Structure 1
Amino acid sequence: MERWRQLDALLVLEKLGCYAKADRTFEPMTAHGTERYHVNVEGWDFELLLRGPKFFDTRLQRGGGGAVDLVMHVRHVSFKGATDLLRRLAV
């Protein structure tokens, strides 16, 4: 469980099989190292700011940190659903 909190958000998206395209025009104003990605997960589109294990959905104005939070957000599943999926994918 602790390992999931530290996983890089982009790695988690890749393990989920999400389409993620970096926005190379994005320049962070405060948190240097933050990148913006346009992400599609099973037909759902997101614009996510990623920095390490943290993410922020610019459209819904919500964010979190760690693999479980990210899976819950992009796959619209419960905590148990997210942990089950991460185990199945051997993340």
Structure 2
Amino acid sequence: MPASDALALLADHVKPDPTYQPLKAEHSLRWHASTARGEFEILTTGVKWYDTRARAGGGGAIDLAMHLLDMSFVEAVKHLTAR
């Protein structure tokens, strides 16, 4: 699942940043997202994602759920399958 799709499932509010100009990966996108844990600025390229504020990243929807929602692996899998 693309990280941008996972982000839409996990965040309470997601908005693309139309002013973002990629420097390295030309297909990357920047998103502003909010969850109960706070505000995030996430870069996505395919399944990979990077939180510019926390300086942390990963690959896949499970990693993203764990990061955004502060969940364990098992909690993240259950949350995503429920969606």
- Report if TM-score (shorter chain) is over 0.5: yes
> Which of 38, 58, 65 is the matching residue for 2:59?
65
Which range is displaced more, 41-50 or 52-61? 41-50
Contact kept? 2:11, 2:34, Cα under 8 Å: no
CA distance in 2, matches of 1:59, 1:14: 19
When the two structures are aligned, how many residues end up with a matched partner?
A: 83
Letter of the 2:68 counterpart: V
Contact kept? 2:49, 2:64, Cα under 8 Å: yes
Please show how residues 1-91 of structure 1 align to structure 2 within 5 Å.
Answer: 7-42=1-36, 44-89=38-83
CA distance in 2, matches of 1:82, 1:48: 18
Normalising by structure 2, what TM-score? 0.92
Task: Give ranges in structure 2 of 5+ residues lacking alignment.
Answer: none
Give the superposition deviation at 1:17.
4.9
| CA deviation map 1:19-68 (0-9, x unaligned) | 11111111011111001111001251000001111110001110000010
CA distance in 2, matches of 1:39, 1:14: 9
Give the superposition deviation at 1:86.
1.1
Normalising by structure 1, what TM-score? 0.84
Q: Percent identity?
A: 37
Task: Give ranges in structure 1 of 5+ residues lacking alignment.
Answer: 1-6
Corresponding residue SS for 2:5:
helix
